[in-house]
Amino acid sequence: MNEQSNWLAACRVEDAIENGGVCVKHGEDQIALFYFTRRNEWYATQNECPHKKQMALSRGMIGSTTDEPKVACPFHKKTFSLSTGECLSGDECAIKTYPVKVENGTVYIGTTPKS
């Protein structure tokens, strides 16, 4: 169980992209934030795709397989679960996922990874 002490105010809800991702700067780190409007869910993961170390996941298309929410890297279409970070195509290592909360129209990312 992760106790979140550090919540990063990432952006306003209206700055996020519906059914898509944005990239959030967190010091030297980059976090991909996804507003899955269709499911009314928020997800956050590392922005770097572990396959070729590209800062690109926030520009990927999101979707689902069966009921698992996922993102596809724009470079080579490797897909990762948005909820667990697990790689769904091939054997890339999992990506980090972060908790997200929305308060008063501001989106916060818990900067301690869930996994």
Partner 1 sequence: MKEPQIIVIGNGMVGYKFCEKLRSKTSSFNLIVFGEEPRRAYDRVHLSEYFNGKTADDLSLSTENWYQEQNITLFLNNPVTKIDRDLQKVYTANGLDYSYDILVFATGSGAFVPNIPGIEKEGVFVYRTIEDLDLISSYAKKAKTASVIGGGLLGLEAAKALIDLGIEKTSIIEFAPRLMPRQIDAAGSDMLKSKLADLGLQIHLNKNTTSIEGDGRITALKFSDDTALDVDMLVISAGIKPRDELAKACGIEVGPRGGIVVDEKMQTNDPAVFAIGECALYDGMIYGLIAPGYEMAEVLAANLCEGEKTFTGFDMSTKLKLIGIDVASFGDNFIAEPDCRTIIFENKHKGVYKRINVSNDGQYLLGGILIGDATAYNLLLQTSNNKIVLPEDPAELILGARGGSESAGGAGITGLPDSALICSCEGVSKGDICSTVADGSCENIDDLKKCTKAGTGCGGCLPMVKDLMTYTLKSQGKYIKNVICEHFNYSRQELFDLIHIHELKSYDEVLDVLGKNDGCEVCKPLVSSLLASLWNEMILKKGNDVAQDSNDRFLANIQKGGSYSVVPRVPGGEITPDKLIVIGEVAKKYNLYTKITGGQRIDMFGAHLNDLPIIWEELIAAGFESGHAYGKGLRTVKSCVGSTWCRFGLHDSVSFAIRIEERYRGIRAPHKFKSAVSGCIRECAEAQSKDFGIIATEKGWNLYVCGNGGSKPQHALLLATDLDSETCIKYIDRFLMFYIRTADPLTRTATWLNKMEGGIDYLRNVIINDSLGMATQWENEIENLIASYKCEWKEAVENPAIRKRFSHFVNAPEDKDPTIEFVEMRGQKRTAEWKTV
Indicate whether 57 belongs to the interface with partner 1 (CB under 8 A): no
Q: How far is the CB of 3 from partner 1 (least distance, A)?
A: 24
Q: Are 89 and 77 in contact (CB under 8 A)?
A: yes
Token couple for 40: 């009314």
Q: Which one among 1, 3, 40, 53 touches partner 1, defined by CB under 8 A?
A: 53
DSSP letter at 55 equals E
From CA 44, how far away is CA 31, in angstroms rounded?
7
Q: Which one among 2, 55, 101, 115 touches partner 1, defined by CB under 8 A?
A: 55
Q: How far is the CB of 7 from partner 1 (least distance, A)?
A: 13
End-to-end CA distance of the chain: 10
Exposure string of 81-101, with b = 16+ CB inside 10 Å and e = fewer, is: bbbebbbeeeebeebbbbbbe
Indicate whether 87 belongs to the interface with partner 1 (CB under 8 A): no
Q: How far is the CB of 18 from partner 1 (least distance, A)?
A: 7
What are the residues binding partner 1 (CB under 8 A)? 10-11, 15-20, 22-25, 28, 30, 33, 36, 38-39, 52-56, 59-67, 69-70, 72, 74-75, 77, 79
